[in-house]
C-alpha cells in the first residue's frame, strides 16, 4: 500500500500517454470510476463495498461528500500491473496497490488478487480523504486507511496490527508516542509498527467515546481550513492520559474483540469513557 504525492510533477507527463492502462471496461460509481482490463460485473460486491465505504468515511469522520472524481485502475494480473508500474512509476516500491495524488487527479492502481478488497478499501479511502482534506497529516491518513480497509463486519478491528502491538508491548519494544507519529512526513519513514499504532489511534478515536470521536472530527475540520501538525499537544491538554488510555484500549481489544466485531454500523462503547 503506497501513497505518493506528485503535486510538484504536475499531471500531464504521467497521464498523457498511458498505453497500458487497463481501460477496456469501466464502471462509474458516484465519485469513483473503476477501470479494468477485464469485465467486472457492475453488481460485484467489491464495488458496492467501495460505495458504502464512501458513506462510512464521510459519516464517521463528519466530512463533506466530495464530487471530485477518483480513478481506480484494476489490472487483471500482477504481471500486467507490475509492467505498467515499471514503465510509468519506476521508482515506486513493489506494493500490491497504491494511491497517487497530482494537482489534477486522484488515482488508485491495483491488480485482481486475493487481497483486492482490502487493498482497494485502503487506497480508495485515501482518495476519499484527500478529496476533502488534502493536507491530512500522514499518520492520520494511514491510520484511517488501515481502519477503513477492514471489512465492514470487522468494525475497523485490524487483527494483524492488534497482534503486532500486543507482541511489541509485551517485549518492551513499543509504547504509544503520538508526537513521534506526527513527525513522520514520508511513507518511507513509516514502518509496520507505526502503521499499527496509527491504526490503533484511529480505532481509539472512532470506537470508544463520543467525546474522542468529536476531537478527531474537529481536528479534520481544522485540517481542511488550516493544516496543522499539533494534534498531540491539543489532545494531551484535553486528555492528559490519552497514551495510557490507548494502552487500556489495546488491552480491551485483546480481551473482548467481539465487542467491536460483526457490527456493520459503528457503535460507540462507553466502557473507557473520558474521565
Ligand atoms: Zn496507505
SS (H, E, C) the chain: CEEEECHHHCCHHHHCCCCCCCCCEEEEECCEEEEECCCCCCCCHHHHHHHHHHHHHHHHHCCCCCCCCEEEEEECCHHHHHHHHHHHCCCCCCCCEEEEECCCCEEEEEECCCCHHHHHHHHHHHHHHHHHCCCCCHHHHHHHHHHHCCCHHHCCCCHHHHHHHHHHHHCCCCCCCHHHHHHCCCHHHCCHHHHHHHHHHHHHHHHCCHHHHHHHHHHHHHHHHCCCCCHHHHHHHHCCCHHHHHHHHHHHHHHCHHHCCCCCCCCCCCCCCCC
Q: How far is the CA of 141 from the centre of ligand 1 (A)?
A: 7
Taking alpha carbons only, the member of 223, 205, 212 closest to residue 129 is 223
Q: How far is the CA of 79 from the centre of ligand 1 (A)?
A: 22
**Integer Cα distance of 202 and 8 in angstroms:** 29
Write out pLDDT tens, residues 244-275: 999 999 999 999 877 776 554 444 444 433 33
Q: How far is the CA of 16 from the centre of ligand 1 (A)?
A: 25
Q: How far is the CA of 119 from the centre of ligand 1 (A)?
A: 9
Looking at the DSSP bridge assignments, the partners of residue 34 are 27, 72
Q: How far is the CA of 186 from the centre of ligand 1 (A)?
A: 11
Q: How far is the CA of 3 from the centre of ligand 1 (A)?
A: 5
Angle (nearest 5°) at CA 199 between 195 and 203:
175
Q: How far is the CA of 195 from the centre of ligand 1 (A)?
A: 9
Q: How far is the CA of 249 from the centre of ligand 1 (A)?
A: 23
Contact 173, 196 (CB under 8 A): no
Q: How far is the CA of 42 from the centre of ligand 1 (A)?
A: 26
Q: How far is the CA of 44 from the centre of ligand 1 (A)?
A: 24
Q: How far is the CA of 184 from the centre of ligand 1 (A)?
A: 14
Write out pLDDT tens, residues 6-51: 433 333 334 444 557 888 899 999 899 999 999 988 888 999 999 9
Q: How far is the CA of 41 from the centre of ligand 1 (A)?
A: 26
Confidence grade of residue 229 (pLDDT, cut at 50, 70, 90): low
Looking at the DSSP bridge assignments, the partners of residue 74 are 36, 110
Contact 20, 90 (CB under 8 A): no
Q: How far is the CA of 120 from the centre of ligand 1 (A)?
A: 10
Q: How far is the CA of 209 from the centre of ligand 1 (A)?
A: 25
Taking alpha carbons only, the member of 134, 257, 268 closest to residue 214 is 268
Which domains can be identified in the chain, with CATH numbers? 2-134 (3.40.30.160), 154-259 (no CATH)
Q: How far is the CA of 275 from the centre of ligand 1 (A)?
A: 33
Looking at the DSSP bridge assignments, the partners of residue 70 are 32, 106
Average pLDDT over residues 224-242: 88
Largest Cα separation within the chain, whole Å, is 58
Average pLDDT over residues 179-194: 93
Give percent of the chain with pLDDT exceeding 90. Answer: 69
The grid coordinates of residue 232 equal 498531540
Residue carrying C-alpha cell 513527525: 183
Write out pLDDT tens, residues 83-120: 999 998 888 888 899 999 988 899 999 999 999 999 99
Q: How far is the CA of 97 from the centre of ligand 1 (A)?
A: 9
Average pLDDT over residues 195-204: 98
Q: How far is the CA of 192 from the centre of ligand 1 (A)?
A: 11
Average pLDDT over residues 123-137: 95
Q: How far is the CA of 181 from the centre of ligand 1 (A)?
A: 14
Q: How far is the CA of 90 from the centre of ligand 1 (A)?
A: 19
Report the pLDDT value the prediction gives residue 263, as an integer from 0 to 100.
52
**Integer Cα distance of 96 and 1 in angstroms:** 6
Amino acid at each position: 500500500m503506497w501513497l505518493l504525492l506528485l503535486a510538484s510533477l504536475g499531471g500531464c507527463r504521467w497521464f498523457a500517454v498511458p498505453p497500458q492502462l487497463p481501460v477496456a471496461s469501466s464502471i462509474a460509481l458516484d465519485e469513483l470510476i473503476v477501470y479494468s482490463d477485464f469485465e467486472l460485473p457492475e453488481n460485484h460486491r467489491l464495488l458496492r463495498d467501495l460505495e458504502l465505504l464512501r458513506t462510512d468515511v464521510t459519516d464517521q469522520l463528519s466530512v463533506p461528500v466530495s464530487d471530485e472524481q477518483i480513478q481506480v485502475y484494476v489490472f487483471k494480473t500482477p504481471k500486467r500491473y507490475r509492467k505498467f508500474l515499471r514503465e510509468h512509476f519506476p521508482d515506486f516500491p513493489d506494493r500490491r496497490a497504491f494511491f497517487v495524488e497530482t494537482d489534477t487527479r486522484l488515482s488508485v492502481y491495483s491488480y485482481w488478487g486475493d487481497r483486492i478488497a482490502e487493498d482497494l478499501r485502503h487506497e480508495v479511502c485515501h482518495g476519499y480523504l484527500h478529496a476533502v482534506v488534502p493536507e491530512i497529516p500522514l499518520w492520520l491518513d494511514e491510520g484511517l486507511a488501515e481502519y477503513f480497509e477492514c471489512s465492514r463486519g470487522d468494525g475497523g478491528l485490524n487483527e494483524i496490527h492488534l497482534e503486532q502491538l500486543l507482541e511489541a508491548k509485551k517485549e518492551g519494544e513499543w509504547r504509544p508516542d503520538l508526537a513521534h507519529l506526527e513527525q513522520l512526513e514520508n511513507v518511507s519513514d513509516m514502518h509496520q509498527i507505526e502503521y499499527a499504532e496509527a491504526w490503533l489511534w484511529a480505532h481509539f478515536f472512532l470506537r470508544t467515546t463520543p467525546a474522542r470521536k468529536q476531537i478527531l472530527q474537529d481536528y479534520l475540520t481544522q485540517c481542511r481550513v488550516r493544516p496543522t501538525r499539533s494534534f498531540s499537544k491539543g489532545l494531551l491538554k484535553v486528555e492528559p492520559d490519552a497514551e495510557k488510555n490507548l494502552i487500556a484500549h489495546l488491552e480491551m481489544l485483546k480481551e473482548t474483540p467481539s465487542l467491536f466485531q460483526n457490527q456493520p454500523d459503528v457503535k460507540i462503547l462507553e466502557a473507557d469513557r473520558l474521565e
